[in-house]
Amino acid sequence: MSQRIDFIVSPGGRLQGQARVPGDKSISHRAIMLGAIAEGSTRIQGFLEAEDALATLAAFRRMGVRIDGPDRGRVTVHGVGMDGLQAPDGPLYLGNSGTSMRLLCGLLAGQPFDSVLTGDESLSRRPMRRVTEPLERMGAKIDTTPDGTAPLHIHGGRRLHGIHYDMPVASAQVKSALLLAGLYAEGETCVAEPAPTRDHTERMLQGLGYEVRRAGNHICLRGGGRLTAADLDVPADISSAAFFLVGASIAPGSELVLEHVGINPTRTGVIDILRLMGAKIEVYNPRMVGGEPVADLRVVSRPLKGVHIPEKLVPLAIDEFPVLFVAAACAEGETVLTGAAELRVKESDRIQSMADGLRILGIDARPTPDGMIVRGGRIGSGRVLSHGDHRIAMAFSIAALRAEGPIEIEDCANVNTSFPGFADLAARLGLGIEVISHD
């Protein structure tokens, strides 16, 4: 991005009021992808108008899909059916979105045309062999760089066959990529996951009329079916709500209601972990919206204590650990995270990035190969780096609620990849945040 944005966040304050955070990013991606290959027009409301999801939308427009909007979260995707996508006129640029790249890799492996997927500098460093190798076992041909990274050259016209794949690491993106390829494969594709991961792809496939079978930890489907358009309502993103769940927990005097939040059981690890630490989070008005469970969340400030985070909760909170490390810094005692090596290959090395920033602010944070040990203490003042990672930038913004002086965060433009309007909403709820733009 040409314009650099920094945050300067004043110390102290509390969060109060009620708010609805933007739509779920994972569900927004999948709504565009599956709506595009469905028959009929899929009407979406609550779509996340952020850079990552817009990258997916733009990619499908370039493959001949007519998409109306977005207009205040409303999008209509005029599906072209399973075989209606057209060859794009050049590489598909996906910005910073790993979800777009990995899921499209599966969907495009079964198309009759060649395609190339590219991304920004950060995305071009992220590992892609975890997706390309099992897809090649299905008969796909995908070229990567010698390091197994993008750009990805996907060769069209390949006959795919279903496989049974035991995922070595729990990953919703890998699972989803294989299921999307399985739509175009002969026979049955089954994916076995070592721990539960977000199941939005399976839920939405079923919502659009495609049979998906789950038996224990196996998710299976047969190729050759069809998808039928439907109306989809995207709930508020629990990953975005997490910043305010932590903020209201750690800032004395806070009381906050977050509305219409997706509480898919494969995504609620952040609530479970915060409750283990002593947070007071109430889930009320639960309901089902478009096949996804939704509820309102009420959080009241409460002193937190350090915990050993159960490894079974790690895949259910993998995107929320940057702000959970901030909760750990404000907790009494020691918090220990293990089994989270995946954090090292996100938009940044989130273990190292958070440990470095917390140390600058005076917190004892010791990174380990697959996690971190954080001893709660007094958060000071300082200038920290986001490393261009949206979740790092927002996490350190929330840390200022308990800081003794201002926190300056460099390079925050990428917050727009997942949470446009974060600074405005945070300020409305009580955070003293200032946005500084550098041309």
Domains of the chain with bracketed CATH: 4-21+236-438 (3.65.10.10), 25-233 (3.65.10.10)
Q: What is the DSSP letter of 332?
A: B
- State yes or no: is 319 an active-site residue: yes
The pLDDT score that the predictor gives to residue 289 is: 86
> What pLDDT, on the 0 to 100 scale, is given for residue 402?
98
Buried b (16+ CB within 10 A) or exposed e, 281-296: beeeeeeeebbbbbbb
| Per-residue confidence (pLDDT) for residue 1, from 0 to 100 | 43
Considering Cα of 417, then 352, then 337, then 422, what sign does the dihedral take?
Answer: negative
Average pLDDT, the chain: 96
Q: What is the pLDDT of residues 322-334, one digit of tens each?
A: 999 999 999 999 9
User: Rounded to whole angstroms, how far apart are CA atoms 405 and 120?
Assistant: 34
What is residue 2's predicted lDDT score, i.e. its pLDDT? Answer: 55
Of the candidates 52, 120, 296, 319, the residue annotated as catalytic is 319
**How does pLDDT run across 374-423, given as a tens digit for each residue?**
999 999 999 999 999 999 999 999 999 999 999 999 999 999 888 999 99
Is the pLDDT at 312 greater than 80, yes or no?
yes
pLDDT at residue 439 greater than cutoff 90: no
> Which pLDDT value is given to residue 381?
98
pLDDT tens digits, residue range 339-362?
999 999 898 999 999 999 999 999
> For the whole model, what pTM was predicted?
0.92
The string of pLDDT tens digits covering residues 245-278 is 999 999 999 999 999 999 999 999 999 999 999 9
pLDDT of residue 146: 97
Residues 6+ apart with CB under 8 A from 288: 294
Burial classification of residue 159, based on how many CB atoms lie within 10 Å of its CB (0-12 exposed, 13-18 middle, 19 or more buried): exposed
Q: Which residues pair with 14 in a beta bridge?
A: none
